[in-house]
Each structure stands twice: as C-alpha cells, then as structure tokens.
C-alpha cells in the first residue's frame, strides 16, 4: 500500500507550507505521525502489530489552521479521512449520533477511495465496452449464421444475409467507430438501456429500536430482494458514454476485493479528525448533574474507539488500533486537563497553535496556493476582468483584520474573508453590467481605507461578528 516514495517528514511539512502559514510545531508533529505509518508498515520484526500511533491534540483559537492541517494531511497521504465534531455525539439516544458512526464513515470513505482507483485501472477496458454498446445502438451488427456441416448452399439461402451485406455492415461500423472516437457524433441521440436500482428504497418503520448496522444490513437485504429494473432512455452519445462508463466499470470491479482492501487501508492509514473536543470537556466541574454528565458520557463512549476496538460496519469488521486520531479544540472555557484522564492519556502529543499576527495575515493573503487574493482574481477573470492588489493594500487589509480580531472576537484567518468580501462586494455587483470585460481594477491602500477604515474608527463592527 505504501511504497518507498512515501513523503519524508520534511517533504510533508513543505507540502503543508503551500497552504498553511506558520504553525511549524503542529506541522512537524503531524508529519512525524504520518511518516510513522509508513515506518510501521515497513517494520520487519513481529513488533509491527504492537506499534500504536501517537494521537495528537491540537489546541488553538478558531481560524488558526487546525482543521486545514488535518485535511491537507489526508490529501498528502491519499488516506481515508473523516472529520467529525465531538459535540454531535452529545446526548446520545436523544439528539446525538452513535460514536461508532465515525468509524463507519471512515470505512465508507475508504471504499470510495479504493473503488475510484480500481475504476481508473479498468477505465480503458470499460471505455472499449461502452464504444461497442454505442456503436450497436447506432449501426446494429449484421451477423452471418454459420451453417451446420452438410447444409446445402441453396437450402434456406434467404435466411442468411448475403456476404456483401455483412461486409458493407462491417465497413460502415468501422467508419462510425472512427467518428465516435473523434467525437463527431456526440450530439446524435441514441436509445440505451440503463440499469436502475430496485423499484424503490424500502423505508424502515420503527427503526429506532435497532442499531445502525442492523438497520443498514436489513435495508440492503430487502433492497437486494427487489427485482432490478432497467429502462430505456434516449440520450446523446456524449451522455450515453458518461452513463455507460460508470456501469461498465462497475461490472469489471470485484466489490469483495474492494471491501477487503478498503478495510485494510482504513485500519493502517485511516485518519479521524475530532473537532471541538473542548465542547465535551466538563469545564469547571461544579458537582454532577446537568449537561456535564452527558459530556463525560460522550468521552467514555469515545475512549474504547480511540484505545482500539472492533467496529462492525456494513463492509466488514474493522479494528481501530492503528487508526490515527487527531483532536482539536479552542479550550477557551475548559482546559485539556478537564477531559477524563483516560482520554487525555490517549492523546499524548499536545500541540499549541499560535494566534495569527499581522505579518501572518499578510502572508496568508499572498503566499498559499489558495490565497484569498488568488481566489478573487479567478472570480473576476471568469468575467474577463483583471484585478490586482498593491503591496500597501494587502498591508492595510491585514491590519484591518488584525484590529477587528483584537477588539471584537478573534476568529483567526476567517476574518480575512469578511474583510475581503466587504472590500470587493461593490465591484462584484457591478461586473459585468457597469464594469465590462477587459477592465482592470487596481486595489490600493487608499481604496481599502475608504471602504474599511471608517468602520474600525466608528466601532460599527456588527456585520463582522460571525
């Protein structure tokens, strides 16, 4: 699953640097954790099964990059990744979700990843089959029946097509096959059979008495008993190619093999990111009762999953012993020590993320591949308008965002989105009615001050409070 070309910790940090500014300590720790998966898989000794991942607890205010680090990490690793919010599990049995559902979501994600890769592998073969189906719909083949031995040449001669008809049909089909490949017939309409699912999904009445897995298995079994319907549809060749490619690729994939590989992949490389873990900490404990009991209950439900347990999913049984758990929280009201000791012990690596400075804001506007300035430039470019930001304008935007964060509510880098939106909304509204294509907009410090500075001076910041 993991080859020798797997990224080194320094390469992982370099990749994260393309999207996330600062937070070097957090990046280093997640890079080590990710590389350790490869190291464990390549351990020769019997101890391989005993090497457990060092789960990470990230502590920092909102908008400093906790979630982004985990999300980018999963993309770099091409690993199954699930993000859940711990507060979703509050009051289980009333409004919350079963804690094991996050592991089932991880397996589902893993199945999708493996299936996508397998589809890519059989793409060429599937495309060939699709081409044949489309060709048969356009020019049905004329086949010459082979006669039994001793069959007279003149007997029932009229039942077989003449040789020249078969040859003509073959030549026509060959000519049309070339046209299909060149895309010349993409707008031609043809009639194809599309396999649907069973008539309808069976609703589960009184499902509240069953657990999630039993309900899914029963629903799948009932749907499997329903006859599969196929219907004829008239579509363009281009649309037929897209619909049929999915069907033909699915036929070439062994789903049992996909499930087995997906379970292994989720076990060895899966990452579960538990956000807002501070919301289930008890805070300053003032005796029992109230919501604190529920919060501690969620922590106790989480504990066996993080420690390593066996979870039953519709694709098979998965062990969570080697799944990497990354938890994150702002911990404004509570402290990490307010979590139950057993759960604290399961997150041995603690990383504090720094609050963003004015200089960080400037870097966030300029450097990342997905920087806000680049996003807005792409939006204006779609209308044929060029927009540029001067260096002093970026300084002014960063200063404004930093000031508002300091004086109202610190929401980190997300503040830049509200500031940029306020700054550019007028232009976005005027394009393309008042500002036509080929126009050029230059955003400078004066313009930024004119549109934003008055708000800061008057403390009229209500629209910036999320």
- The annotation places the binding site for ATP at 21, 63-68, 275, 342, 414
Residue 153 backbone phi and psi in degrees, to 5: -60, -35
* Cα gap 99→110, rounded to integer Å: 18
Per DSSP, the three-state class of 154 is coil
- For residues 21 and 360, the answer to whether their CB atoms sit within 8 Å is yes
Residues annotated as binding site?
A: 21, 63-68, 275, 342, 414
Distance CA 403, CA 448 (A): 14
- What 3 state SS string does the chain have? CCCCCCCCHHHHHHHHHCCCCCCHHHHHHHHHHHHHHHHHHCCCCHHHHHCCCCCEEEECCCCCCHHHHHHHHHHHHCCCEEEEEHHHHCCCCCCCCCCCHHHHHHHHHHHHHHHHHHHHHCHHHHHHHHHHHHHHHHCCCCCCCCCCCCCCCCCCHHHCCCHHHHHHHHHHHHHHHHHHHHCCCCCCEEEEEEEEEECCCCCCCCHHHCCHHHHHHHHHHHHHHCCEEEEEEEEEHHHHHHHHHHHHHHHHCCHHHHHHHHHHHHHHHCEEEEECHHHHCCCCCCCCCCHHHHHHHHHHHHHHHHHCCEEEECCEEEECCCCEEEEEECCCCCCHHHCCHHHHHCCCEEEECCCCCHHHHHHHHHCCCCCHHHHHHHHHHCCCCEEEECHHHHHHHHHHHHHHHHHCCCCCCHHHHHHHHHHHHHHHHHCCCCCCCCCEEEECHHHHHHHHHHHHHHCCCHHHCC
- Cα Rg for the chain, rounded, in angstroms? 30
Question: Rounded distance, CA 320 to CA 327, Å?
Answer: 15
């Amino acid at each position: 699953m993991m080859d020798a070309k797997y990224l080194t910790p320094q390469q992982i940090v370099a990749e994260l640097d393309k999207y996330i500014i600062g937070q070097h300590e957090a990046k280093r720790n997640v890079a080590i954790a990710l590389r350790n998966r490869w190291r464990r898989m390549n351990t020769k000794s019997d101890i391989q099964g005993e090497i457990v991942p060092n789960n990470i607890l990230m502590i920092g205010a909102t908008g400093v990059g906790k979630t982004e680090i985990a999300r980018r990490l999963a993309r770099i690793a091409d690993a199954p990744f699930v993000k859940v919010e711990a507060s979703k599990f509050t009051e289980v049995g009333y409004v919350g979700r079963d804690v094991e559902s996050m592991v089932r979501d991880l397996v589902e994600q893993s199945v999708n990843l493996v299936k996508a890769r397998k589809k890519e592998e059989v793409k060429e073969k599937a495309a060939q089959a699709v081409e044949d189906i489309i060709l048969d719909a356009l020019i049905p083949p004329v086949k010459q029946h082979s006669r039994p031995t001793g069959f007279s040449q003149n007997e029932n001669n009229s039942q077989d097509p003449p040789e020249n008809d078969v040859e003509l049909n073959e030549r026509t089909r060959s000519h049309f096959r070339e046209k299909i490949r060149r895309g010349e017939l993409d707008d031609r309409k043809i009639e194809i059979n599309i396999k649907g699912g069973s008539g309808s999904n069976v609703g589960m009445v009184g499902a509240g008495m069953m657990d999630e897995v039993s309900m899914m298995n029963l629903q799948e079994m009932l749907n499997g008993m329903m006859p599969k319907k196929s219907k004829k549809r008239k579509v363009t060749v281009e649309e037929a190619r897209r619909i049929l490619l999915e069907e033909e690729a699915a036929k070439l994939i062994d789903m049992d093999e996909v499930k087995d590989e997906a379970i292994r992949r989720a076990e060895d490389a899966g990452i579960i990111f538990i956000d807002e873990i501070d919301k289930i900490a008890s805070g300053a404990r003032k005796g029992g009762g109230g919501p604190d009991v529920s919060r501690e209950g969620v922590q106790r439900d989480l504990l066996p999953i993080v420690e390593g347990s066996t979870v039953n999913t519709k694709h098979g049984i998965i062990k969570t012993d080697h799944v990497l758990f990354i938890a994150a929280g702002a911990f404004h009201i509570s402290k990490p020590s307010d979590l139950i000791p057993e759960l604290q012990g399961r997150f041995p690596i603690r990383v504090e993320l720094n609050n963003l400075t004015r200089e960080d804001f400037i870097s966030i506007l300029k450097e990342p591949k997905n920087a806000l300035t680049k996003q807005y430039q792409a939006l204006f470019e779609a209308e044929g308008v060029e927009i540029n930001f001067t260096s002093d304008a970026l300084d002014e935007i960063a200063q404004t965002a930093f000031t508002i964060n300091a004086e109202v509510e610190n929401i980190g880098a997300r503040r830049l989105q509200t500031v940029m939106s306020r700054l550019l909304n007028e232009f976005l509204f005027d394009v393309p009615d008042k500002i036509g294509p080929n126009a050029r907009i230059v955003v400078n410090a004066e313009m930024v001050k004119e549109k934003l500075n008055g708000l800061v001076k008057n403390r009229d910041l209500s629209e910036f409070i999320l």
